[in-house]
Structure 1
């Protein structure tokens, strides 16, 4: 077997076979924790997750003796494994920290880091390639073949721009490997929550975009968080990024979605309701909303504007009543509102809502 310019000997192949299942399971379970996190239920959540890191920790030493020639693969696996192990250690320690809530969020940041390290192996290691597909499409032979036969390109896969990845005002993009410039591609702008960044939030969408065929753009706010109040440096930056995307890729001008989580969702209202917004669809999730936003919004902009609101009934930061009011006020003002309320969702990103949003956007 050959990968990254080096031949994989039987010993390294055995190591990969032993390491990948617990590694992928541990990373997947981190996603489960992130999706179901609710501060009052944290103990029960961790008990339900168990110790998927134990098997990973047992296999991790296999990578320590790998030859230098295998560094590209070994480093990626080690980085992902170490990120996952750090996440579980910090999650278990969080209840004893003075800032326990913030400690949980810090621990969960290791999940996207593990995914970012793993992704370059998706082409050469089939289990990793399947991991980065929607579970319902992992047995789609045509899709797997398209991905396998797609040529390597500098304009597909994960790309960072605008400065250091994750830096203020920078952005990260995912373009499906089977991108075809002869087609017009839907674009999802995914805005992170108040304490996040685009480099990490991109991974909230990669599986679905890779499975169904969409370009995902994950910018990082120019300031500490999105410009919800005061001067707005973020809207011009989003427009500049969109213009760059239009320059390098073929985009469907009828399917330009602006959405996000928490502060990012709120800002998708603030920016997306502006009369000059280029975005054709808005999809705020777990977002704050005041009815005055609808009353101040441009009447012409609102008429027929597709808005998909997702909110959790258990949201402890922005009460679900706020989302219900938003749906009512925006519908009354003329918007075409779709409202999705998730009974067991607290204030986290609901991965299971990605496919309904893409269905609504008209992505096959």
Structure 2
């Protein structure tokens, strides 16, 4: 009876035929802007403001496990063990599963010995181990398949003249639709913008994203990385068949940044320049011969100094390795955590594509 009364009350409150009934959808916050502001507040040490901004942004992206985790970090730094525990558990439910990272993340040092927080971390470790056991052994194999790629064409493009191609590789859990938002930057340079879907589905909360790496052990992940690298180059073959292309510029973010290194160094003759954003140079995939042979391709490394997902040291390592090998490499940093720098994408395009 109580349930029926509640349903009646709700139905009376909302006129489903009122054109303004869905007006709240127009007032949803812009999560990307709010998360940037939240990160800035975090770096400034204003953890209360950062938490408030993360909470507001998460209203529009409640599945964003990374931002939920960052919110838990804010509460950890504020010494609020209960809230840190609550949001860490919510991050886990949304798809965050790097419990090893939680163990050493200094943001949780103020609450690490709290019984509630400590018990949650122990519980999540047990759940992670149980999940692996229940899933069974993973077997990776190769097969042919069909994959998607989103393509935006410059205004007035009719195929009569070749134009530059900018190829963008999204990060872990993202999709072509999500990464295509960068057309707001790329579209100013009179080029084709192509964003392929990474080959392996990846569950992010209650939605499906995609990953360039697959496998639980090093050997299977290395094999999948090589397959993804070759997939990027096969896609490029297809794009060059369909469109008239002059030069090709490759960039990627996070895991896509790592793939940018792999594809760019494996086939340097295919690219005019490459720019890995917040990625890492996986030397288990790149051979010494490849490294030496690819030194002619310009590399523009971009990485946030406070990155806690792909450590800033990864960029320092890549810069050192490539510089010693004689590459035309520039290392651009920005004040921020694991985030995409549109300003540095614009700088990359300005350097090579500006009239």
State whether TM-score is above 0.5: yes
Query: 2:166, 2:249 within 8 Å by CA — same for their partners in 1?
Result: yes
Question: Structure 1 residues 261 and 105 mapped into 2: Cα distance closer, same or farther (>3 Å)?
Answer: farther
- Listed as ranges, the matches of 1:280-359 within 5 Å are 280-289=272-281, 293=286, 295-302=288-295, 304-342=296-334, 344-359=335-350
Question: Structure 1 residues 15 and 249 mapped into 2: Cα distance closer, same or farther (>3 Å)?
Answer: farther
- 2:106 match: none
- Cα displacement string for residues 109-129 of structure 1 (whole angstroms, at most 9, x for unaligned residues): xxxxxxxxxxxxxxxxxxxxx
Compute the TM-score of the two structures, normalised by the length of structure 1: 0.57
- 1:271 match: 263
For CA contacts below 8 A with separation 6 or more, give which structure has more relative contact order.
Answer: 1
SS of the residue corresponding to residue 288 of structure 1 reads: coil
- 2:36 match: 32
Q: Distance between the aligned counterparts of 1:336 and 1:315, measured in 2?
A: 24
Count of matched residue pairs: 255
Q: Distance between the aligned counterparts of 1:229 and 1:347, measured in 2?
A: 23
SS of the residue corresponding to residue 188 of structure 1 reads: strand
Q: Distance between the aligned counterparts of 1:346 and 1:309, measured in 2?
A: 15
Query: 2:278, 2:302 within 8 Å by CA — same for their partners in 1?
Result: yes
Question: Structure 1 residues 168 and 181 mapped into 2: Cα distance closer, same or farther (>3 Å)?
Answer: closer
Residue 277 of structure 1: CA displacement?
5.6
- Listed as ranges, the matches of 1:235-254 within 5 Å are 235-253=229-247
Question: Structure 1 residues 103 and 336 mapped into 2: Cα distance closer, same or farther (>3 Å)?
Answer: farther
Query: 2:155, 2:190 within 8 Å by CA — same for their partners in 1?
Result: no
Question: Structure 1 residues 298 and 339 mapped into 2: Cα distance closer, same or farther (>3 Å)?
Answer: closer
Any stretches of 5+ residues in structure 1 without a counterpart? 1-10, 54-83, 107-166
Query: 2:170, 2:176 within 8 Å by CA — same for their partners in 1?
Result: yes
Any stretches of 5+ residues in structure 2 without a counterpart? 1-17, 73-85, 97-144, 202-210, 214-220
The counterpart of 1:206, out of the listed 180, 183, 190, is 183
Q: Distance between the aligned counterparts of 1:100 and 1:169, measured in 2?
A: 32
Query: 1:294, 1:330 within 8 Å by CA — same for their partners in 2?
Result: no
Residue 299 of structure 1: CA displacement?
2.2
Compute the TM-score of the two structures, normalised by the length of structure 2: 0.59
Question: Structure 1 residues 85 and 284 mapped into 2: Cα distance closer, same or farther (>3 Å)?
Answer: same
